[in-house]
Amino acid sequence: MYTQPYQIRSSLQPGKYFIKSISVQNEAELKSLEWKNHQSFEVIAGKSPTTSSLNIESLEFSPKLIQGGGTITARFVFRSEIVPLGVNALLTGPLDYLESISIDRFTKQGENTWRMENTIQISEWLPSGTYQLSNLIAYHENVFATYDGKPLIVEVKNAKVADKPVILETILEPEAGKRSAMTTFRVRIRSAAPVNLLTADYETPRTSGATMYGYKITSLGNDEWEAVGGAYIFANSPEGTYNIKNMKVRNEGNIISDAVGPIVFKVEK
């Protein structure tokens, strides 16, 4: 039996709620048909959404200048009758998207006023230029609030210049495809700037479109790095050919390598 709890907040509008499109998937990547008997529950008391406003009062970056890398702090103040649930935003720079920000912890600092802080690490390898917080949205159960005021901007001045990382070699571990075990691959990379991300597309005999991430990146010295990735093969995983392809790495200069692959392995009966 599988149990999924749901948090029912006091500000939800009274009425009947439905849980639909229920299905399950097993280790063999086989999916059930949808359960047609929709589950429902009723909220009999709650705060009307018309009285639960949400406003972004102020935003601030500090410091406003980063030289040679450092940390910036983003501070947000909101006005809401109920606890805000979260904030989403993007940090963009000279090479476009840098980081997605998602925060769900707030501190009450006055009547219907909430404060949130988030720190962002700026690498000494990032290109110099203007970085801006954009697409900021705050929300609670009933209301979304966007920020249309003066943009949050920080200027970055770095002396170091990152190069484009190059994937030199991919190595699949000898026991790839073994059931009830991790199939591991290693990637050797050349990059003056530290490598901080490995991604790849992962395809099984029954599914495609999944993204695989590296879980360990270490320095080998002399501007070389090793990234380790892998996928767990269950006892009941489908037999057949598995592909790890479109493999890329990114360094702290926010520069992405060319894609390589595929790495192919088989899972037997």
* pLDDT band for position 8 (cuts 50, 70, 90): low
* Residue of 210 and 44 predicted with greater confidence: 210
The predicted model gives 76-102 an average pLDDT of: 84
- Domain limit, last residue, from 129, 157, 185: 157
The answer on 256 and 194 residing in a single domain is: yes
User: Residue 51 pLDDT > 60, yes or no?
Assistant: no
Q: What is the mean pLDDT of residues 8-24?
A: 73
Q: Is the pLDDT of residue 50 over 50?
A: no
Q: Tokens at residue 67, please?
A: 């030289």
Number of domains, the chain: 2
Higher pLDDT, 224 or 82: 224
Claim to verify: residue 198 and residue 223 sit in the same structural domain: yes
Q: Tell me, what's the pLDDT at 12?
A: 63
Domain of 244, in residue numbers: 166-267
Work out the pLDDT band at 110, boundaries 50, 70, 90: confident
Angle 75-77-79 (CA atoms, 0-180°, nearest 5)?
Answer: 165
Sorting pLDDT into bands at 50, 70 and 90, what band is 11? low
The pTM score is 0.82
> Does residue 211 register a pLDDT over 50?
yes
Q: Shortest CA distance to 152 belongs to which of 71, 75, 252?
A: 75
For residues 86 and 79, give the distance between their C-alpha atoms in angstroms, rounded to a whole number: 13
- Tell me the pLDDT of the chain averaged across its residues: 87
DSSP single-letter state for residue 169: E
Q: Classify residue 220: in a domain, yes or no.
A: yes
Q: What is the CATH number of the domain that holds 186?
A: 2.60.40.10
- Asked whether residue 57 is domain-assigned, the answer is yes
Structure tokens at 250: 């990114």
Question: Which has more pLDDT, 237 or 141?
Answer: 237
- Same domain for 58 and 146: yes
